[in-house]
Amino acid sequence: MFIENEILVPDGILTTFPLANKFKPGTVKVLFDDKLCYECREESGNQNIEFDVAPVATRSIVVSYYTEDEVNTWNQIRYTTPAQVKALSRVAAIAAATDADLEGVIREAELYIDEYIGFFWKQLEANNGQMLMFPRREDEKRVFEGTHPVDYVGIPQDLSRAALYAVENLVLSGAVTFDSGGGDITSEKLGDYSYTKANVSGSGVKDSGDLIGKRSRSIVDKYRKRYRELKIDDDFDNDALLNSRQRFARDHY
């Protein structure tokens, strides 16, 4: 079942909010003052939302999600969640980790995946505060609930799997979240989205592709764009372009 526009009432003190129903992991979408909120996480108990800081009473918070009995759903705005990582990973350190620790690594993994893929896709909700590259416009699907058509947004399932592998790679490489001696912590800010990343000592890490690991790269390679798509208008003067190329060849060769 899809729950739409459940309202949360902040008081400036609480950071944890129970929802009216248990949710399907990955399907929670939080609008904070009408913008997508990334400074919160799903708790593994599948009913609470935890914010990084306590929202003040003047803020508007609206939540939509699928209930836990729903099948065939994709993640809504986050590539993976602590509950999903714990359920699928066989890495011992992940099984023993807290949701908060896993959330920190997930946020790193999401940004590294985006950096590796490139920022040339068109975000589905770019005007609604979307911070991550996915979902893209291509990821919006037209489906039916009964006889009523609805738009369903989802993160491609293989990208969610790539995010899991990236989290595992970061943990096994000595993510600072799990090993305080693993490297230097560097805080950065991307728009209104702040995050912390680690430079793992002695690991030889050079770029985002190294950070997310081979298994993750093998999945997300198909999403990479190395150039922007160019659109030539129908009334573009192709003859003039051809003639200019011919003149260039004549003058330079």
Whether residues 38 and 104 fall in one domain: no
Between 50 and 194, name the one with better pLDDT. Answer: 50
* Residue 111 placed within a domain: yes
CA distances from 212 to 106, 110, 184 (A): 11, 9, 18
pLDDT tens across 48-100, in order? 999 999 999 999 999 999 999 988 788 999 999 999 999 999 999 999 999 99
Q: Are residues 100 and 176 in the same domain?
A: yes
Q: Considering 49, 73, 97, which residue would you say is the last residue of a domain?
A: 73
Residue 42 sits in the same domain as residue 156: no
Taking 90 as the threshold, does the pLDDT of residue 141 lie above it?
no
pLDDT band at 239 (very low <50, low <70, confident <90, very high): low
pLDDT: which is higher, 249 or 43: 43
- Asked whether residue 63 falls in the same domain as residue 107, the answer is no
Q: Dig out the tokens for 48 from the structure.
A: 């609470």
Asked whether residue 252 is assigned to any structural domain, the reply reads: no
**Out of 46-50, 186-190, 199-203, which region has the weakest mean confidence (pLDDT)?**
186-190
- Residues 110, 54: one domain? no
Please check whether residue 5 lies inside any domain of the structure. Answer: yes
Query: Are residues 85 and 68 both part of a single domain?
Result: no
Residue ending a domain, among 31, 58, 73, is: 73
Mean pLDDT of the chain: 81
Task: Give the pLDDT confidence score for residue 139 in this predicted structure.
Answer: 85
Task: Give the list of residues 6+ apart from residue 23 with CB closer than 8 angstroms, or none.
Answer: 3, 42, 46, 47, 65, 66, 67, 68
Looking at 73, 100, 132, the residue that finishes a domain is: 73
Q: How many structural domains does the chain have?
A: 2
Least confident of 101-115, 173-187, 198-212: 173-187
Higher pLDDT, 95 or 199: 95
% of residues, the chain, pLDDT over 70: 72
Q: Are residues 62 and 86 in the same domain?
A: no
Q: Which segment of 1-5, 143-147, 227-231 scores lowest on mean pLDDT?
A: 227-231
Residues 158-188 pLDDT 10s: 999 999 999 999 999 876 555 444 444 344 3
Same domain, 47 and 155: no
Residue 251 belongs to a domain: no
The residue-averaged pLDDT of 192-196 equals: 41
Residue 80 is assigned to a structural domain of this protein: yes
The answer to whether residues 20 and 97 belong to one domain is no
Q: Note whether 84 and 174 are same-domain residues.
A: yes
Do 127 and 233 lie in one domain? The reply is yes
Which residues span the domain enclosing 134?
75-239
Residue 65 lies in a domain: yes
Q: Is the same domain home to 98 and 160?
A: yes
Residue 156 lies in a domain: yes
pLDDT greater than 50 at residue 195: no
Domain annotation covers residue 198: yes
Query: Contact, 110 vs 164, CB < 8 A?
Result: no
- Residue 226 pLDDT: 59
